[in-house]
Amino acid sequence: MKYEQLAKDILKNVGGKENVNSLTHCITRLRFKLKDEGKANTDILKNMDGVVTVVKSGGQYQVVIGNHVPDVFAAVNAVGGLQGASEEDETEEKMNPLNKFIDIVSGVFQPILGVLCATGMIKGLNAVLVAAGVLASTDSTYIILNAIGDCLFNFFPIFLGFTAAKKFKLNQFTGMAVGAAMVYPAITSFAGQTVDFFGIPVVMPSSSYQSTVIPIILAIYIASKVEKLFKKIIPDMVKTFLVPFATLLVVVPVTFMAIGPISTIAANALGDLTLAIYNFNPTIAGLFIGGFWQVFVMFGLHWGLVPIAMNNLAVIGYDPVLATSVAVCFAQTGVVMAILAKTKDKKLKSLCIPAIISGFFGVTEPAIYGITLPRKKPFILSCIAAGVTGGIIGFFESKGYSMGGLGIFALPSYINPEGIDRGFYGMVIAMVAGIVVGFILMFVTKLNDEEEVKTTESKKEESLVKQEEIVSPIQGEVVTLAEVKDEAFSSGALGKGVAINPIEGKVYAPADGTLTTLFPSLHALGITTENGAEILIHVGMDTVQLEGKHFTAKVKQGDKIKKGQLLIEFDKEAIEKAGYSTITPVLITNSDQYLDVIETDKRKVDVNSELLTVVI
């Protein structure tokens, strides 16, 4: 077995098989759930040949291997006699009820939000074309576009059946089958009727289950428990087909007879409750949600409003609640625009420009984590401006008629199917107001970069967010990881960062720290900075096969290094002549432990030029 010794060493240094609760793997990592992480020898594992690094996150002890992780996974299971679990078999982390709720909601909805927004944008585009008189609702073009826009939401239970099954550890195709049964054409034709199942009355909801949210999620949760029971009692030789057979035969009828009607009543009640709170005073509701939205997002609490919005769309055909948060990104953008106009700091200006561009499209993380939050006052001002936008949206009673895009791409989703109304104009006014109010508030506020960012070490300890700058270890042209022809790097599985196409064969230290890993082939090295960032510099693609040829080390593993110190020399021309690319990824392998990793916007870098900013 090719990886037998590596597997034995890994198992030994995670505390032995008796310390392993479960083991799964993703694209590049072995993901252990350990009984006691204190028994693991992390430093030994990090320095082990065949191991890139170790990451501890989300209750998992992750040993990063690379793109041959399936083979190592199989070897560890073989030598340890472990039951090699899939992702769905992992033991659950202990969470408080709020964290558990957020975890479930994000796990169920996050995988489909991108497609849901995309289809909503297409539906919104259709509404714009009809409002502009370009299309009529009877045109075939309109119908085709509407099919794209409605396809996901009309068959929502199938998609949620898949994602909920993954979250609740049910066979995902069984989950899809439950959802498909709920939107089966003959079943939808029973909408509003009382039918029977072997003489047992079944009350169908008046609007069918096509766009519902709560019934399918609850059904999949019950199905996960039923499947688990049948797995215990059905013999292994017939589990493949008898477990889903028995699960579906129990869950689908129970869904129609009990789960569906009860959850439909709950869904309607939830819709009525949220509308009652909102209608008590839409302006105040908007001020509150808009003002605190960015705080909600930072702590993941915004996920609590996502299912409410989707439920409102399904039950009443529109949602006014999530609408109050749509223009928040423009408030944040207005503040950053004022900072750009005021600051004389070139580095800060370079951060502001891309943050403003992304802000117009609804992506505010670069602005929040890179600019306003570290300076506190700008972030507070952005929350005030955001509250104003929410208040305006509430005052105009703007409503979303589909899940759509972010930023300016959100506008089509707020066009009433019956035509443009005051709610749409209110949304436009709120977006403009967000920029104007955010800009004015920030422009009349003193911006003292030294005082606000707290550059001294003592003041850094007091700041809400700290940053660590990683400089370029190589002179050359910056390319994105997506352009690297190696899935382990391009997928981001090994961490966030960039790649550099070098113009000379020298690698320098990008920060002060310790050279924790130096591969025997000298093609890759790992550095742990004094602040804990773990950096991987991987010279070239597949250059491990050169076995150190054309590489010369100037340091040894375990050395303390200083920023700008020469670490490795390599013969660029000889390596490329041998048929290998010298594109060099520079990654933060423990980037999942940080708020963000911000890449330079420069296309060419010199040694010691700013390359990555780690937001701690």
Query: What pLDDT score does 102 carry?
Result: 62
Query: What pLDDT score does 250 carry?
Result: 95
The DSSP letter of residue 239 is: H
Evaluate if residue 54 carries a pLDDT over 50. Answer: yes
Query: What pLDDT score does 409 carry?
Result: 85
Query: What pLDDT score does 307 carry?
Result: 75
User: Quick one: tokens of 457?
Assistant: 């070490």
- Tens of pLDDT along 106-152? 678 777 777 876 787 787 788 778 877 888 888 999 999 989 988 88
What mean pLDDT is reported for the chain? Answer: 84
Average pLDDT rounded to a whole number, residues 180-201: 90
Task: Looking at the structure, tell me whether residues 371 and 513 fall in a common domain.
Answer: no
**208 part of a folded domain:** no
Task: Looking at the structure, tell me whether residues 290 and 435 fall in a common domain.
Answer: yes
- Tens of pLDDT along 218-253? 999 999 999 999 999 998 888 889 999 999 999 999
| C-beta atoms surrounding 324 within 10 Å | 31
Distance between start and end Cα atoms, the chain: 41
Residue 50 dihedral angles phi and psi, to the nearest 5°: 100, -10
Evaluate if residue 450 carries a pLDDT over 50. Answer: no
**202 part of a folded domain:** no
User: CA 403 → CA 118, 154, 172, 262, 503, distances in Å?
Assistant: 8, 13, 24, 25, 47
**60 part of a folded domain:** yes
Task: Looking at the structure, tell me whether residues 422 and 489 fall in a common domain.
Answer: no
Evaluate if residue 597 carries a pLDDT over 80. Answer: yes
Query: What pLDDT score does 614 carry?
Result: 86
Give the count of domains, the chain: 3
Evaluate if residue 463 carries a pLDDT over 50. Answer: no
Are 357 and 461 in contact, with CB atoms under 8 Å apart? no
pLDDT band at 91 (very low <50, low <70, confident <90, very high): very low
**113 part of a folded domain:** no
Cα–Cα distance for residue pair 359/66, rounded to 1 Å: 34
Query: What pLDDT score does 501 carry?
Result: 94
Query: What pLDDT score does 87 carry?
Result: 40
Last residue of a domain, one of 53, 73, 89: 89
- Select, from the ranges 78-82, 144-148, 292-296, the one with the highest average predicted confidence (pLDDT): 144-148
Query: What pLDDT score does 206 carry?
Result: 73
Return the higher-pLDDT residue of 71 and 286: 286
Query: What pLDDT score does 606 carry?
Result: 93
Task: Looking at the structure, tell me whether residues 436 and 316 fall in a common domain.
Answer: yes
Name the least confident of 97-111, 388-402, 468-482, 544-558.
97-111
Task: Looking at the structure, tell me whether residues 341 and 438 fall in a common domain.
Answer: yes
Last residue of a domain, one of 452, 477, 497: 452
User: Quick one: tokens of 166?
Assistant: 């993954």
Query: What pLDDT score does 591 carry?
Result: 83
Characterize the bridge pairing of strands 596-599 and 467-471: unpaired
Residue with tokens 């819709």: 271
pLDDT band at 301 (very low <50, low <70, confident <90, very high): low
Catalytic residue annotation: 26
**225 part of a folded domain:** no
Spatial neighbors of 547 by CB under 8 A, at least 6 apart, are: 520, 521
Specify the 3-state DSSP secondary structure of 347. helix
Cα–Cα distance for residue pair 64/55, rounded to 1 Å: 7
Task: Looking at the structure, tell me whether residues 365 and 340 fall in a common domain.
Answer: yes
Task: Looking at the structure, tell me whether residues 386 and 416 fall in a common domain.
Answer: yes
pLDDT band at 363 (very low <50, low <70, confident <90, very high): confident
User: CA 110 → CA 30, 31, 102, 425, distances in Å?
Assistant: 23, 21, 11, 30
Average pLDDT rounded to a whole number, residues 563-581: 93
Task: Looking at the structure, tell me whether residues 598 and 471 fall in a common domain.
Answer: yes
Instruction: Judge residue 293's burial from the number of C-beta atoms within 10 Å of its C-beta, 0-12 exposed, 13-18 middle, 19 or more buried.
Output: buried
Query: What pLDDT score does 452 carry?
Result: 44
Task: Looking at the structure, tell me whether residues 430 and 505 fall in a common domain.
Answer: no
pLDDT band at 472 (very low <50, low <70, confident <90, very high): very high
Which amino acid type is present at position 144? I
% pLDDT > 70, the chain: 89
Spatial neighbors of 251 by CB under 8 A, at least 6 apart, are: 178, 219, 222, 223, 226
CATH number where 599 lies: 2.70.70.10
| Half-sphere exposure at residue 301, Cβ-oriented, CA atoms within 13 angstroms | 9
User: CA 284 → CA 288, 307, 323, 388, 510, distances in Å?
Assistant: 6, 22, 14, 10, 50
Residue 556 dihedral angles phi and psi, to the nearest 5°: -130, 160
- Select, from the ranges 22-36, 84-98, 468-482, the one with the highest average predicted confidence (pLDDT): 468-482
Query: What pLDDT score does 454 carry?
Result: 43
- Tens of pLDDT along 344-354? 888 788 878 88
Instruction: Enumerate the H helices of 1-82 as residue ranges.
Output: 4-13, 42-46, 69-80
Cα–Cα distance for residue pair 378/526, rounded to 1 Å: 36
21 is in which domain, residue-wise?
Answer: 4-89
Last residue of a domain, one of 44, 62, 89: 89
- The overall pTM is greater than 0.85: no
